Amino acid sequence: MDGANVKCSCEKCQLKTLFFNHVSIDELTDICQIKEERTYAKGDTIIHEGDIINEFLYLKEGLVKLLKTTTTGKDQIISFSKPFDFVSLLSVFSSERYRYSVSAVDNSVVCILDLRVVKNHARQNALFTMDLMSRISEATDKIVIENLEIKRKYLKGRVAHVLLYFANYIYEKDEFELPVSRREIADYIGMTTENVIRALSTFRKDKIIKIYGKEIVIADKSRLENISEFG
Amino acid sequence: MDGANVKCSCEKCQLKTLFFNHVSIDELTDICQIKEERTYAKGDTIIHEGDIINEFLYLKEGLVKLLKTTTTGKDQIISFSKPFDFVSLLSVFSSERYRYSVSAVDNSVVCILDLRVVKNHARQNALFTMDLMSRISEATDKIVIENLEIKRKYLKGRVAHVLLYFANYIYEKDEFELPVSRREIADYIGMTTENVIRALSTFRKDKIIKIYGKEIVIADKSRLENISEFG
DNA sequence: AGATCAATATGATAATTATCACACCCTAAT
DNA sequence: ATTAGGGTGTGATAATTATCATATTGATCT
């Protein structure tokens, strides 16, 4: 039964690894056959806060944001997630409905499984469930720690932190095309758009970064790190 | 084998329920026999950030805080937990070491199991593991949402929010003895101690609350709710 | 009892951030 | 091509919060 490998052909898929480690090949074929891929354009909403959860999904390609909209209509961005961070997992096993929204920050491809099928496997396979659990914990730990980091900084430190976050964690490069607007950065770090722009301008004037529209080049990384740590 | 009931006699213990639902009586006897209770005085440290995790613990009585100390030596309080919020769960299944500290905000009693034993049960019992997972998710969801709530408010809104949090969630009473210092409130909402005190003073002057040292009486709850929502 | 230290409290001032106003550019729609 | 709207950018001013200084109370230690 090598067909499973063919159906789940995505090379680096961590979910596949997760299943392979603990689920028999026959079961896997099941899961792969019901797997569905969906494509979202930059800006599309993938999950609506409040919707009933009946799918299990994870990001295969692209970049998404997890967010919540306040009663006054402002967005608060909880985290950004790149492929194989199991973004949708957060409330999947604790709530009937999504507590957050997820939308595509960049063109994205999402893989989708029927949640009932995944839960079925979870019920029957404790090791699989434990693995899932540790991934959920890891993902939420990351969110909590990242949030604390941002919280303890002032405006410039927060903006520097976000730039380093994209450079080190998302793109692993010191030159990249910012996938988010200034307003999204503001929604993430809890400051206003104007002040995010001002901070970026200051960094540019101080020759710490170069800005060509959406493209950012980190010119003096150690100084940026210093601002992130102490600014 | 009714002895299990005797050994795990704690009336309202949710952990017991968790185990009872999914673990056979024989196994339960195991767990109860190795259960240990530890008492902590107000101010004691229960878990040290960085320590290796080899125990599984939950709060039976009292009140604790989850916190992280920054490089500059300031505490950031992540959450407060009352009994049966599974505070220690956060990193238990995703990390070798604790990522946060836990300390007693009030005199507390903690129940402790050997983590290996719990993990053993988890490996053998998927339903038990799923239940654990949903509790972890619930706990972390609560932390994330609470943090967003606080983040979107100004000083007075944040302080009002904390007062309502203690009144509604922790004590379920509009008169209570504040278990935390003004500084701890400040560490929780990310403001300075002085400004927390000032906000409390303002509320007192406006006859929204009464303050007798540590004792707080909420005199005008609807106004406090209004400040929490829009202030 | 006296000394010491932390918590509470208040005021003055400085630093930080939000708000409002306006301009420019780019893109999408008509 | 023109218009409308959103993103970007900058300045002036108001609001908010931090910092520093100082006083008082209360608890703890000797």
Write the residue in B126, B138, B147 that is nearest to A125 by C-beta.
B126
- What predicted TM-score, i.e. pTM, was given to this entire model? 0.92
Question: Chain A within 8 Å of B132 (Cβ-Cβ)?
Answer: yes
Question: Chain A within 8 Å of B69 (Cβ-Cβ)?
Answer: no
Indicate whether B33 pLDDT > 80.
no
**DSSP secondary structure, B23-37, as one string:** S-HHHHHHHHHH-EE
Write the residue in B92, B99, B129 that is nearest to A129 by C-beta.
B129
Averaged pLDDT of chain B: 88
Q: Which residue out of A49, A78, A140 would a mutagenesis test of the B interface target, given it has the greatest number of B Cβ atoms within 10 Å?
A: A140
Instruction: Give me the pLDDT at residue A104, please.
Output: 95
Instruction: Give me the pLDDT at residue B10, please.
Output: 61
Question: Chain A within 8 Å of B134 (Cβ-Cβ)?
Answer: yes
Under an 8 A CB cutoff, do A71 and B190 touch?
A: no
Helix axes B25-34, B14-22, angle to 10 degrees: 150
- Closest residue to C9 (CA, C1′): B197
Q: Of the given ranges (A17-26, A72-81, B6-15, B63-72), which has the lowest mean pLDDT?
A: B6-15
Under an 8 A CB cutoff, do B94 and A126 touch?
A: no
SS (H, E, C) chain A: CCHHHHHCCCCCCHHHHHHHHHCCHHHHHHHHHHCEEEEECCCCEEECCCCECCEEEEEEEEEEEEEEECCCCCEEEEEEECCCCCCCHHHHCCCCECCCEEEEEEEEEEEEEEHHHHHHHHHHCHHHHHHHHHHHHHHHHHHHHHHHHHHCCCHHHHHHHHHHHHHHHHHCCCEEECCCCHHHHHHHHCCCHHHHHHHHHHHHHCCCEEEECCEEEECCHHHHHHHHHHC
**A-B contacts at Cβ under 8 angstroms:** 118
Considering only residues B77 and B14, tell me which one the structure prediction assigns the higher pLDDT: B77
Indicate whether B113 pLDDT > 50.
yes
Q: Which residue out of B140, B145, B149, B158 would a mutagenesis test of the A interface target, given it has the greatest number of A Cβ atoms within 10 Å?
A: B140
Contacts of A91 (CB under 8 A, 6+ apart): A53, A97, A98, A99, A100, B137, B141
Residue A35 binned pLDDT confidence (cut-offs 50, 70, 90): confident
Check if the beta carbon of residue A62 is closer than 8 Å to that of residue A43. no
Instruction: Give me the pLDDT at residue A138, please.
Output: 87
Q: What are the pLDDT digits (tens) for A87-112?
A: 666 778 889 999 999 999 999 999 89
Q: Which residue of A has its CA nearest to B68?
A: A148
Instruction: Give me the pLDDT at residue B146, please.
Output: 96
Positions of chain C reached by protein Cβ under 7 A = 7-12, 16-21
Question: Chain B within 8 Å of A130 (Cβ-Cβ)?
Answer: yes
Write the residue in B78, B133, B144 that is nearest to A133 by C-beta.
B133
Q: How far is A189 from chain B (nearest CA, A)?
A: 10
Quick check: helix, strand or coil at residue B58? strand
* Nucleic strand D near CB of residue A192 (< 7 Å): no
Indicate whether B141 pLDDT > 50.
yes
* Nucleic strand D near CB of residue A155 (< 7 Å): no
Instruction: Give me the pLDDT at residue A12, please.
Output: 62
Q: Of the given ranges (B34-43, B154-163, B217-226), which has the lowest mean pLDDT?
A: B34-43
Considering only residues B226 and B22, tell me which one the structure prediction assigns the higher pLDDT: B226
Distance CA B69, CA B187 (A): 10
Q: What are the pLDDT digits (tens) for B181-213?
A: 999 999 999 999 999 999 999 999 999 999 999
Q: What are the pLDDT digits (tens) for A38-88?
A: 999 999 999 999 999 999 888 888 999 999 999 888 999 999 999 877 766
Indicate whether A5 pLDDT > 50.
no
Residue B3 binned pLDDT confidence (cut-offs 50, 70, 90): very low
Q: What are the pLDDT digits (tens) for A152-168?
A: 999 999 999 999 999 99
Interatomic separation, CA of residue A176 and C1' of nucleotide D12, rounded (Å): 34
Residue B133 binned pLDDT confidence (cut-offs 50, 70, 90): confident
Under an 8 A CB cutoff, do A141 and B93 touch?
A: no
Instruction: Give me the pLDDT at residue A44, please.
Output: 94
Q: Of the given ranges (A3-7, A124-128, B94-98), which has the lowest mean pLDDT?
A: A3-7
Averaged pLDDT of chain A: 88
Interatomic separation, CA of residue B192 and C1' of nucleotide D19, rounded (Å): 10
Q: Of the given ranges (A15-19, A130-134, A190-194, B167-171), which has the lowest mean pLDDT?
A: A15-19
Instruction: Give me the pLDDT at residue A88, please.
Output: 64
Instruction: Give me the pLDDT at residue B212, please.
Output: 94
Residue B153 binned pLDDT confidence (cut-offs 50, 70, 90): very high
Residue B54 binned pLDDT confidence (cut-offs 50, 70, 90): very high
Instruction: Give me the pLDDT at residue A10, please.
Output: 61
Q: Which residue of A has its CA nearest to B139?
A: A94
Which residues of chain B have a CB within 8 Å of the CB of A229? 71
Instruction: Give me the pLDDT at residue A188, please.
Output: 98
Share of chain A above pLDDT 90, in %: 59
Instruction: Give me the pLDDT at residue B5, please.
Output: 38
- Within window 200-229 on A, which residues have Cβ closer than 7 Å to strand D? 200-201, 211, 213-214
Q: Which residue of B has its CA nearest to A143?
A: B144
Question: Chain A within 8 Å of B76 (Cβ-Cβ)?
Answer: yes
Q: Of the given ranges (A168-177, B11-20, B169-178), which has the lowest mean pLDDT?
A: B11-20
Q: How far is A127 from chain B (nearest CA, A)?
A: 6
Instruction: Give me the pLDDT at residue B147, please.
Output: 96
Instruction: Give me the pLDDT at residue B30, please.
Output: 66
